[in-house]
């Protein structure tokens, strides 16, 4: 088991030495075992395979949801399909749709199916328990013509349009699985993620070829902390996966050198093209930007990797998607999670008897902690924020990401207390935790509240002695989910926590199902039982 409990990091007077360790070559052990990652140039996504056919289907919106075609499965070899497409000549929309339906098995759209005997008549906790098997999928060996990635063991999907396993979603889903005694499924999903790292060098955004060029917030170490596994072989394999993931996140492309020489990380994507699943939207955003389109595409992709797709956090003008510059932002949440990852590796190496590795990663964690406190803390604003590399200052605005340093346990006690006050004053809404304090129409902004951020807040606030505020966030959010469930019989991807209704904004309608909401609600119910 890899615990989330923090190790004792080096005192701050050793930070200068730790920073030298990060930039130098004096580490006593390699940062990660030498393993080859997936050659992304060799991975063909639907956009690569179908070229002008793909562009026509997506830009002409033959299907309302851009994710439909990229999840379709070809009925015959790609060269045959493309030969007939080019031979057919110009097609109107009806003919193009007919061509696609004749040559591809297209997934059905719509809501997650209701469980047997579920719906509004069942208690919400019981409804969630009945949903686990509905959202569970068996091991996957993709058929020819599919964009899916293989998974050796059973897994949970979020629901709705999200038909595959997602990275950071799954941690919050696992919290609910643990609460409901579904430990075997937790172990199964951890094994799937380890398999993905072994095959591809990282955990992709989701288990599709078109997600392979990026990841999502690195919660794998936190997933492993939910596991009681003590088998030496299993622990060694999982530790190797964490070390390999750390190497992925700390490549030069993802690394920012701060003014004092400290190194922190930012989001990135190996491709600079429109996202397959949002092709039309990305092309339109890039066209409206007046900027080099490759730059815009990479920033859109990096924003998708952040999980906050999209938010005022990533917008240079704070409001307009065309100004997105995610790759120029050093975020508090990502670096807090990497601190947790480094601590987990240090503990795992110590358990394995590798004192050099343990010392190395302990120092790396201490250096990151000092850099976050130095560069991502806003003394005047009582918050952690995101550093703008171009402007050389923190971006304005309070967001729920300010709570990640508390979740990870890296904030000083004084800073943790001040973040709690800021949270209560600006982010606590009548029905849960706001994501930001500005309403831009983007889904990761006010008035939306998201299940994962409720859990991060609850864990972080309780860790820093504010269980009263943690309890308030938890009870308000669970009550919101309960009200919506009583009204519609559904649990939703996101909620409007100011008006106690379904959330909105973004590129697609609010989805139901829903993996991480189910997980966080059950975990919060277990943590704070109703009186």
What residues are annotated to the active site?
A: 309, 493
β-partners of residue 263 are 257
β-partners of residue 162 are 159
Q: Taking Cα atoms as reference points, which of 38, 4, 37, 35 lies closest to residue 240?
A: 35
DSSP-derived secondary structure for 271-311: --S--GGGHHHHHHHHHHHTS-HHHHHHHHHHHHHTS--S-
Say which residues have a Cβ less than 8 Å from residue 222's Cβ, sequence separation at least 6: 4, 171, 337, 340
Say which residues have a Cβ less than 8 Å from residue 24's Cβ, sequence separation at least 6: none
Say which residues have a Cβ less than 8 Å from residue 91's Cβ, sequence separation at least 6: 56, 99
Distance CA 405, CA 72 (A): 40
Two tokens at 233? 């072989």
DSSP-derived secondary structure for 455-499: HHHHHHHHHTT-HHHHHHHHHHHHHHHHHHHHHHS--BSEEETTT
Residue positions counted in the chain: 531
Q: How far is C-alpha 476 from the geometric centre of its chain's CA atoms?
A: 24
The CA–CA distances, whole Å, from 386 to 141, 255, 321 equal: 40, 14, 17
**Count of C-beta atoms within a 10 Å radius of residue 271:** 20
Distance CA 519, CA 531 (A): 21
């Amino acid at each position: 088991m890899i615990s989330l409990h923090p190790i004792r990091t080096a005192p701050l007077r050793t930070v200068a030495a730790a920073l030298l360790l990060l930039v130098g070559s004096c580490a006593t052990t390699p940062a990660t075992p030498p393993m080859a990652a997936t050659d992304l140039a060799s991975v063909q996504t639907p956009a690569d395979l179908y070229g002008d056919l793909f562009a026509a289907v997506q830009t002409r919106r033959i299907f309302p949801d851009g994710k439909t075609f990229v999840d379709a499965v070809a009925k015959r070899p790609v060269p045959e399909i493309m030969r007939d497409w080019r031979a057919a000549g110009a097609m109107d929309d009806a003919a193009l749709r007919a061509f696609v339906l004749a040559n591809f098995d297209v997934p059905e759209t719509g809501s997650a199916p209701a469980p047997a005997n579920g719906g509004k008549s069942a208690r919400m906790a019981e409804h969630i328990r009945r949903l686990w098997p509905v959202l569970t999928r068996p091991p996957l060996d993709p058929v020819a013509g599919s964009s899916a990635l293989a998974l050796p063991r059973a897994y949970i999907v979020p629901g709705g349009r999200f038909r595959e396993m997602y990275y950071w979603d799954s941690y919050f889903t696992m919290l609910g699985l643990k609460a409901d005694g579904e430990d075997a499924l937790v172990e199964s999903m951890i094994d799937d993620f380890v398999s993905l790292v072994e095959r591809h060098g990282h955990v992709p955004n989701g288990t599709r070829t078109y997600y392979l060029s990026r990841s999502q917030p690195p919660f794998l170490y936190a997933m492993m902390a939910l596991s009681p596994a003590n088998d030496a072989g299993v622990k060694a394999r999982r530790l190797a996966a964490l070390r390999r993931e750390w190497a992925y996140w700390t490549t030069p492309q993802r690394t920012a050198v701060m003014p004092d020489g400290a190194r922190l990380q930012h989001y990135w994507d190996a491709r600079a093209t429109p996202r397959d699943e949002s092709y039309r939207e990305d092309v339109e955003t890039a066209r409206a930007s007046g900027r080099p389109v490759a730059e815009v595409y990479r920033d859109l992709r990096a924003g998708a990797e952040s999980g906050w797709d999209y938010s005022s956090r990533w917008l240079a003008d704070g409001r307009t998607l065309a100004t997105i510059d995610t790759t120029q932002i050093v975020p508090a949440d990502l670096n807090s999670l990497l601190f947790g990852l480094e601590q987990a590796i240090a503990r795992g190496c110590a358990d394995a008897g590798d004192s050099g590795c343990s010392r190395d990663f302990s120092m790396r964690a201490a250096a990151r902690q000092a850099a976050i406190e130095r560069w991502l803390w806003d003394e005047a604003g009582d918050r952690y924020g995101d550093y703008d590399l171009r402007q050389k200052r923190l971006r304005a605005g309070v967001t729920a990401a300010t709570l990640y340093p508390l979740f990870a346990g890296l904030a000083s006690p004084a800073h943790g207390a001040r973040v709690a006050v800021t949270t209560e004053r600006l982010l606590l809404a009548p029905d849960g935790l706001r994501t930001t304090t500005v309403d831009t129409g983007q889904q990761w902004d006010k008035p939306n509240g998201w299940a994962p951020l409720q859990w991060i807040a609850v864990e972080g606030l309780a860790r820093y002695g504010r269980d009263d505020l943690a309890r308030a966030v938890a009870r308000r959010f669970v009550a919101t989910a309960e009200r919506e469930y009583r009204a519609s019989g559904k649990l939703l991807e996101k909620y409007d926590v100011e008006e106690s209704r379904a959330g909105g904004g973004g590129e697609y309608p609010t989805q139901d199902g829903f993996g991480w909401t189910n997980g966080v609600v059950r975990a919060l119910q277990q943590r704070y039982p109703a009186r």
